[in-house]
């Protein structure tokens, strides 16, 4: 005799509702953009009334920031493993770039949603901390990688912050927009930009 399915607690039910709303927003933001997507559409697409959105998010900016946080939260651990390996700084950089591009290829909808959400937040909520803090952390990890490469003598002298921001710009905009972009070309570009130049005798 099969047992009756276990009922979710109130907290579990609320979290399940929140996750369904986030997934609904990801889908709609990717297809239509944030400004063109109403909160009513997000709720209805998830199978709820508008009240469900307002019960979980203060406004559209809060929802967009949560979408960014959710997607970055998925990708972050993968990028962290690439950065924290015991390989050379050049190999870690290549793995970081390849990992990011592979994620965008596996999840094109999520890649499109994060571009739409970040662009919307930059225009409507420039002081929003949730994305800014995570972006800063991401760049800080890259800066640390570049500084480590320079200390090891594996990379030439350059400004690590400028290089990190340049790489993030490529990965956060060009890669999700042009899904078929070649990972090896981006790896080669930044390997060339950071490597120690050989001197002729």
> Among residues 65, 69, 70, 95, which one has the least CA distance to residue 80?
95
- Pair 1, 28: CB distance under 8 Å: no
- 134: in domain: yes
- The C-alpha atoms of residue 5 and residue 89 are separated, in whole angstroms, by 51
Per-residue pLDDT of 42-96, as tens digits, reads: 999 999 998 999 999 999 999 999 998 999 899 889 999 999 999 999 999 999 9
- The C-alpha atoms of residue 115 and residue 175 are separated, in whole angstroms, by 10
Written as one string, the DSSP assignment of 91-117 is HHHHHHHHHHHHHHHH-HHHHHHHHHH
Per-residue pLDDT of 8-41, as tens digits, reads: 787 888 889 999 999 999 999 999 999 999 999 9
Range of the domain at 188: 59-194
- 107: in domain: yes
- The C-alpha atoms of residue 42 and residue 149 are separated, in whole angstroms, by 45
Q: What's the rounded mean pLDDT across residues 153-179?
A: 85
Average pLDDT across the chain, whole number = 86
The total domain count for the chain is 1
Instruction: Report the range of poorest mean pLDDT among 81-85, 168-172, 187-191, 196-200.
Output: 196-200
Q: What pLDDT shows up at residue 130?
A: 47
- 41: in domain: no
Q: What distance lies between CA 140 and its chain's CA centroid?
A: 15
- 35: in domain: no
- Pair 64, 34: CB distance under 8 Å: yes
Alpha helices in the chain (DSSP H): 10-32, 39-46, 50-56, 60-83, 89-106, 108-124, 129-151, 160-169, 175-177, 183-194
- 138: in domain: yes
Q: What pLDDT shows up at residue 125?
A: 55
pTM over 0.75: yes
- 11: in domain: no
- The C-alpha atoms of residue 114 and residue 15 are separated, in whole angstroms, by 21
- Pair 28, 63: CB distance under 8 Å: no
- 67: in domain: yes
CATH code: domain of residue 143:
1.10.357.10
User: Does residue 109 carry a pLDDT above 50?
Assistant: yes
- 31: in domain: no
């Amino acid at each position: 005799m099969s047992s009756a399915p276990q009922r979710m607690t109130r907290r579990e039910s609320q979290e399940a509702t929140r996750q369904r709303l986030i997934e609904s927003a990801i889908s709609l933001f990717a297809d239509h953009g944030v400004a063109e997507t109403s909160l009513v559409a997000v709720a209805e697409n998830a199978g709820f009334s508008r009240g469900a959105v307002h019960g979980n998010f203060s406004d559209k900016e809060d929802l967009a920031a949560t979408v960014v946080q959710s997607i970055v939260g998925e990708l972050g651990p993968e990028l962290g493993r690439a950065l924290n390996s015991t390989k050379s700084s050049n190999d870690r950089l290549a793995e970081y770039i390849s990992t990011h591009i592979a994620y965008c290829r596996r999840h094109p909808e999520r890649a499109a949603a994060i571009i739409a959400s970040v662009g919307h937040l930059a225009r409507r909520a420039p002081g929003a901390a949730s994305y800014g803090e995570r972006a800063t952390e991401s760049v800080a990890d890259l800066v640390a990688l570049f500084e480590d490469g320079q200390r090891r003598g594996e990379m030439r002298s350059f400004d690590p912050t400028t290089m990190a921001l340049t790489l993030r710009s490529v990965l956060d905009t060009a890669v999700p927009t042009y899904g078929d972009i070649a990972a090896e070309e981006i790896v080669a570009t930044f390997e060339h930009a950071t490597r120690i130049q050989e001197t002729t005798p």
